[in-house]
Chains A and B, each alone.
Chain A
């Protein structure tokens, strides 16, 4: 018996528990089945790119904090790399190591939120989320030690970092690095092999290799589809070529793979931090850079592997104290373009977890 059905439009967001910010999806549903969705964003637009044109090069750093606000260190890092490339500034050795440690810590923190929020979307009522926040709190404490902030750190500077590590930082970091693997195992034990999670996430929202590459996806979303592409290896920036780590990849490209890749990457980040801790030299943490940087006329693009994917800053200088143009390549936005292909034909509940598994931050999408 085939009943006549009629699709209807459901507005998910901008205020909705699982849209990870003020993001809106106009979903056309046939009963529970998603026929089509249309992502609508712009609710958090602050005009960061335009604001950047009226600020000094150093003054833009706090703006970058507020892009992907759950991985502020990485944004600082990418921006500073771009300015350094533009002005040809050499960063001292110790500062490079500090930057790498911060970026990897931030990556762990961001993945903790991504995985926790994903499991929360799956319906595990806040338990994994809060477990992961317990560890994120320790990372945030470390960041507070070095920068005094807990969310928007504003720690890196053009030519280095704002200040040297305090004395108690390295012992605290060592303690964290030693106990963290145990906690990651705990997350695995909690839900990794859970029958319900497997049924929910395995084979759901598949993004094939070709689709992923065509959509220009990057980061865990791309790697889960089986593409071994990590900018830290493919186009090493800073001092990433000195460290030994693996690129975890998925095989199918479903939600479960994306989740697995993120958990694995936390382990790899810990490996990098361990190596960096062992090698870190002493010395200055900031190059001699004038207060008002006037880079020569030209342009530069610097990209890093942020927790979301390829985060790039494109700067054009006209030899004034502010950039002529600042363009940001936000990984969240580009990864999101694959969403529509991924959710068609799945159910509302799947729509939520597929969306959650892409892991976006609206601050970065809207800029």
Chain B
């Protein structure tokens, strides 16, 4: 708690424009807890609406448009429907694990938001190891997913959970390596500092890093084309096949909360977070999060799903080498100009990204790297 307190003090000193938040440690704590829960829940409703309507438009249909104006109340209707369902626990299930799994999966998805700045300094805790905290916490929900898969005593669930664990373990590495590039340039692990360092958005300085992070992030949260943990055409619903009612709602919530979390992290790390002209910072933040989420919806409607061995091969033989090269290049650039990277680096890095991706994708299929024994 001491650490937290000092950090909050630091935070107040950091602020260029100190927002007038309610004072005191506990006041701050309570205020931001409420903000985060409110933010996540409303955003989940928002993104469910965006996903359903957006997918509808892309699939040449209308999407839900009967509940409320423009179908805006559809997420509410969904929620009511799901909550009224009977809660069924399989006889052979491990009752405790089955009950606990959604909670274990849900908590980390919320906790990630503790260190994400909604605007300058507006965050629950400006940890100086913020990004490390994000990486650590985001892997915890895998435990919840595996508990669900194991506790349901259903073979589909187990397959889905196994796939999830395999994917998360593999994709964590390129994910973290992509972050390291950002950290090198920003010179800080604190997310607020990273945002403040983005006079040039890091998506331009780290285009390859952004691509790697986006791909690995999608895999980490089971978004298409890496959604084979809940591949509906293969293993019904993956780890949450045996869930219904409130517990299913929790998993549903986790899915979207995680998607928002990854979008928020991408926004913070690569899209200069809350920074932007004219509009208030928090609005910029939300707009960018929604843009990133929309990109995920787009890939989901377009791409087929890859297979588990290809998923692994993609991580170890494609993302990982590129992440290492990206890290090396970034380190050299930072070494060459420690005072801050000039604009010319943007062009160099974009060229490097284009060449690397083209070369590697050629190798990937020519040399038969697209498969791996699982």
Contacts and interface: CB of A to CB of B under 8 A. Distances in A.
Interface string A114-133: 00000111111111001100
Interface in A145-204: 190-191, 194-197, 199-200
Contacts of B304: 119, 122-124, 191, 194, 196-197, 200
Interface in B159-200: 159, 162-163
A352 B59 CA distance: 23
A31 B166 CA distance: 13
Given A123-B233, A349-B231, A130 B310 contact: no
Given A119-B304, A120-B233, A199 B370 contact: yes
Interface string B141-156: 0000000000000011
Nearest to A117: B233
A125 B301 contact: yes
A32 B301 contact: no
A18 B233 contact: yes
A148 B67 CA distance: 33
Contacts of A50: none
Interface core residue of A18, A120, A125 (most chain B CB under 10 Å): A125
B374 A123 contact: no
Contacts of A352: 233-234
A128 B156 CA distance: 26
A58 B236 CA distance: 42
A16 B307 contact: no
Contact of B159 (A32, A195, A199, A200): A32
A130 B60 contact: yes
B232 A17 contact: yes
Secondary structure of the A contact surface, majority rule: helix
A289 interface: no
A61 B361 CA distance: 54
Nearest to B60: A134
A122 B169 CA distance: 24
Interface string B222-252: 0011011001111110000000000000000
A8 interface: yes
Nearest to A351: B234
B307 A200 contact: yes
Secondary structure of the B contact surface, majority rule: helix
B155 A10 contact: yes
A140 interface: no
Nearest to A27: B155
Interface core residue of B59, B233, B370 (most chain A CB under 10 Å): B233
A294 interface: no
A305 interface: no
A350 interface: yes
A40 B58 CA distance: 37
Contact of B301 (A17, A127, A199, A348): A127
Interface core residue of B155, B163, B224 (most chain A CB under 10 Å): B155
B232 A31 contact: no
Interface string B289-321: 000000000001111111111100000000000
Given A194-B303, A196-B225, A197-B304, A121 B233 contact: yes
B66 interface: no
Interface string A3-42: 0000010100000111000000000000110000000000
Nearest to A16: B236
A271 interface: no
A344 interface: no
Nearest to B301: A127
Nearest to A201: B304
Contacts of A10: 155-156, 159
A329 interface: no
Contacts of A195: 361, 365
A347 interface: yes
A215 B21 CA distance: 75
B61 interface: yes
Contacts of B159: 10, 32, 348
Contacts of B233: 17-18, 120-123, 352
Interface of A: 8, 10, 16-18, 31-32, 119-127, 130-131, 134, 190-191, 194-197, 199-200, 347-350, 352
The 7 closest A-B pairs by CB, nearest first: A123-B305, A122-B304, A124-B304, A130-B59, A18-B233, A123-B304, A349-B307
16 contacts: A10-B159, A16-B236, A32-B163, A123-B228, A123-B304, A123-B306, A125-B224, A130-B60, A194-B303, A196-B303, A347-B374, A348-B235, A349-B228, A349-B231, A349-B308, A350-B307
